[in-house]
Amino acid sequence: MKKQAIPITYDKFWRDRPLSLVSIRTAASDPRRGWLTGGGLTIPVALGRGGIVANKREGDGGTPKGTFRPRRVWWRADRGARPRSFLPVRPIRGDDAWCEDPTDRHYNRPLRLAPGRGGDRLAREDHLYDFIIEIDHNTRPRIAGRGSAVFLHLARDNFGPTAGCISMSKAAMLQLLRRLSPRTKIIIG
């Protein structure tokens, strides 16, 4: 008697599998607003005050156009439970920051800051960085002045534009986190 293979399907659990691709496009009415779509998700997002730009520069307020991958999740453990994700997850400490100085050898990398030292601190008073998805923008190679600290993070209450990141509601962020993996492609533009 010949053995027969039994196919296994995951259609019933597609919402539990990591996404292979998400795309972010501008809204027709406002270049500082947009939509993140992928795997049945459609999430309204706020973009940089400069819209999506092909030639990202430090401080231009533009969200970089391109294809990226998520690297890890940073989260404020003092403000909520550890999020579910296929990505590595790291709690934000009070001295965690991101280097935005193009002249510094740590440019566009996380670092730990002593009290009083400048930098983009990740432990903010507002809730924008309660959840951060770090992406691989300007990482290999890192080029001074080509933009730093481009994240997916939480939106302001009025969904105002960002300094170059992509922001969304907390509910949307938690939904997205459950579906992202290091292999997910994020296409912006």
Tokens at residue 56, please? 């990202």
Q: What value does the mean pLDDT of the chain take?
A: 92
Tokens at residue 115, please? 């009290």
Q: Which tens digits make up the pLDDT trace of 126-138?
A: 999 999 999 999 9
Tokens at residue 40, please? 């049945």
Written as one string, the DSSP assignment of 169-187 is -HHHHHHHHTT--TT-EEE
Mean pLDDT over 87-106 rounds to: 95
State pTM to two decimals: 0.89
Q: Which residues pair with 68 in a beta bridge?
A: 186
Q: Which tens digits make up the pLDDT trace of 172-183?
A: 999 999 999 999
Contact 175, 43 (CB under 8 A): yes
Q: How far apart are CA 177 and CA 59, in angstroms?
A: 27
Tokens at residue 3, please? 């053995």
Q: How far apart are the first and last CA of the chain?
A: 55
Written as one string, the DSSP assignment of 112-125 is E--TT--SEESS-S
Tokens at residue 107, please? 């440019």
DSSP-based three-state secondary structure for 45: strand
Please tell me the least confidently modeled range out of 50-59, 106-115, 155-164.
106-115
